[in-house]
Amino acid sequence: MLTRRIQGQKGVQGIIIVNSEGIPVKTTLDNSSTVQYAGLIHQLVMKARSTVRDIDPQNDLTFLRVRSKKNEIMIAPDKDYFLIVIQNPSD
């Protein structure tokens, strides 16, 4: 329900919520894509967070946007979950 507004926005291809262990708990995409996204993005976020915090341990990663040719992946990482939204802005 809370994610319905986001789902209804223009160009949003999918929403995935991943828990702290990397298991997707809610998704609007098909299973294989979800699992793939969850696994890969988990690693990316870990790396990004490690980078940010290595530079300054009091800093932390709050948002990550990966823009590619075809779409944009937006990730809101947190201690207990990841919120991943894939959008195609030109749709």
Sites of contact with other proteins (CB under 8 A): 2-3, 5-6, 9-12, 17, 19, 22-26, 31, 34-36, 38-40, 42-43, 46-47, 50, 53-54, 57-58, 62-63, 65, 72, 74, 76, 78-81, 83, 85, 87, 89
Q: How far is the CB of 70 from other proteins (least distance, A)?
A: 13
Give whichever of 63 and 69 is closer to other proteins, judged by the CB atom.
Answer: 63
The string over 11-30, giving b where at least 16 C-beta atoms fall within 10 Å of a residue's C-beta and e elsewhere, is: ebbbbbbbeeeeebeebbbe
The rounded distance, in Å, linking the Cα atoms of 71 and 62 is 21
Closest CA to 61 of 75, 80, 40, 43: 75
Report CA torsion sign: 74, 51, 62, 26: positive
Least distance between other proteins and beta carbon 2 (Å): 6
Q: Minimal distance in Å, beta carbon 31 to other proteins?
A: 7
